[in-house]
Amino acid sequence: MIALSRRAFLGAALCAAALPLRAQTAGGYPDGRPIRLIVPYTPGGGTDSVARAIAAKITGLAGWSVVVENRPGAGGNIGLDYVAKTKPDGFMLGLGQTSNLAINPALMPKMPFDAGKDFAAVALIASLPVVLVVKANARWNTLADLVRDARAAPGSIKQALAGSGTVGHLAGELLAYQAKFEVLNVPYRGAAPALNDLLGENTDYMFATPQAAQEMLKGKVLRPLAVTARARLPILPDVPTVAESGFDGFEALDWKALVAPAGTPREVIQAVNGVVEKVLADPATVALFTAEGSTAMGGTPDAAQQYILQEQKKWARLIREANIQTAS
């Protein structure tokens, strides 16, 4: 866990919302009705904690009732499929992310929804890079060391995956593609068992989220070699980016975005976006995200839609050109 607990994150979110705006659209939306926010993952995870913090701050700022519901399964596809097939009346939102809105549509042979047509983007929430970590006593001190050995012995160096289709998975594939070496993927059901096997030397490296690896990095049982953001992380200032380690332009982010079913009234989307923009501009929100290694995003619904489209094209191109398959 990171130094800032999820409980503290939620508590700070509630306390920061001291002066409600009681915002409504011209038509009176939401007129006291609860807004459902679907999280396509289990309670207690990173996506869930972000959703609950954002929901709490929306309630505090606008006086709206936002009810978070967890509908996990199939890499986030079950929850988002539920959102896609719900009546677009403005009272249904989903918290999607890179894997289920941009990676899965190109990686998985059959999807229950069309990520490009079944959703209306509401707002970009935050982005989070992953960190390439090895065991602290590994023979690699830099990313260049790892790449050199991976090239010298194709397929012998093993990458641990928190799951197939995750940002960590595709970050590893992107590195292998750009660095021209063969990667051997070893998938797990979550970050915890993947990191445990890395420590047990059953695998060699992993692209992990800062939250998942934070305590092991603090305890110096893991060594970070690079982060996948364009700039270094404030919480890991001495760790270089993959880009500055010789792979110009490299970026792999686990971003989160609020989406609504396609056909949701434009004025509702604008209203929700306006409140979310205030939430993300709050210095307390910025500080909370920074402490986790995340960056608050924001912007207009149109900008969010364009960003998601660009990410879909980026990962689809990599999956096609590198002939990436689901890891099993």
Mean pLDDT value across residues 14-30: 54
CATH of residue 78's domain is 3.40.190.150
pLDDT of residue 327: 65
Does residue 215 lie within any of the structural domains? yes
| Same-domain status, 143 and 246 | yes
| Same-domain status, 54 and 161 | no
- Residue at which a domain ends, from 251, 269, 298: 251
Strand pairing class (35-39; 222-227): unpaired
**pLDDT tens across 148-158, in order?**
999 999 989 99
Q: 28 pLDDT band (50/70/90 cuts)?
A: confident
Whether 18 has a pLDDT exceeding 80, the answer reads no
Q: 4 pLDDT band (50/70/90 cuts)?
A: very low
What are the residue ranges of helices labelled H in the chain?
6-16, 46-62, 77-84, 98, 104-107, 143-152, 167-179, 191-199, 210-218, 266-281, 283-292, 301-321
| Same-domain status, 117 and 47 | yes
Q: Give the CB-side neighbour count of residue 301, counting CA atoms within 13 A.
A: 20
Looking at per-residue confidence, does 145 or 26 come out higher? 145
Does residue 189 lie within any of the structural domains? yes
The type of residue at 218 is: K
**pLDDT tens across 48-81, in order?**
989 999 999 999 999 999 999 999 988 899 999 9
Supply the range of the domain harboring residue 21. Answer: 6-127+254-319
Does residue 325 lie within any of the structural domains? no
Sheet hosting strand 205-208, strand order edge to edge: 184-187, 158-161, 205-208, 131-135, 222-227
Whether 17 has a pLDDT exceeding 60, the answer reads no
C-alpha 218/C-alpha 155 separation (Å) is 30
pLDDT of residue 25: 54
- Residue at which a domain ends, from 199, 216, 251: 251
Does residue 324 lie within any of the structural domains? no
- What is the pTM (predicted TM-score) of this model? 0.88
Tokens of 171: 């970050």
| Same-domain status, 121 and 230 | no
Does residue 328 lie within any of the structural domains? no
- Residue at which a domain ends, from 217, 251, 285: 251
**pLDDT tens across 251-307, in order?**
999 999 999 999 999 999 999 999 999 999 999 999 989 998 999 999 999 999 999
The type of residue at 210 is: P
What does pLDDT average to over the chain?
Answer: 91
pLDDT of residue 328: 60
| Same-domain status, 158 and 47 | no
Grouping H, G, I as helix, E, B as strand and the rest as coil, residue 5 is coil
C-alpha 254/C-alpha 13 separation (Å) is 22
Tally of structural domains, the chain: 2
CATH of residue 226's domain is 3.40.190.10
Of the candidates 44, 167, 45, the one whose C-alpha atom is nearest the C-alpha of residue 100 is 167
C-alpha 226/C-alpha 246 separation (Å) is 11
C-alpha 50/C-alpha 232 separation (Å) is 22
In this structure, what is the dihedral angle of CA atoms 308, 311, 315, 321, given to the nearest 10 degrees? 120
| Same-domain status, 178 and 231 | yes
Whether 21 has a pLDDT exceeding 90, the answer reads no
Of the candidates 268, 289, 293, the one whose C-alpha atom is nearest the C-alpha of residue 122 is 268
pLDDT of residue 109: 82
| Same-domain status, 26 and 162 | no
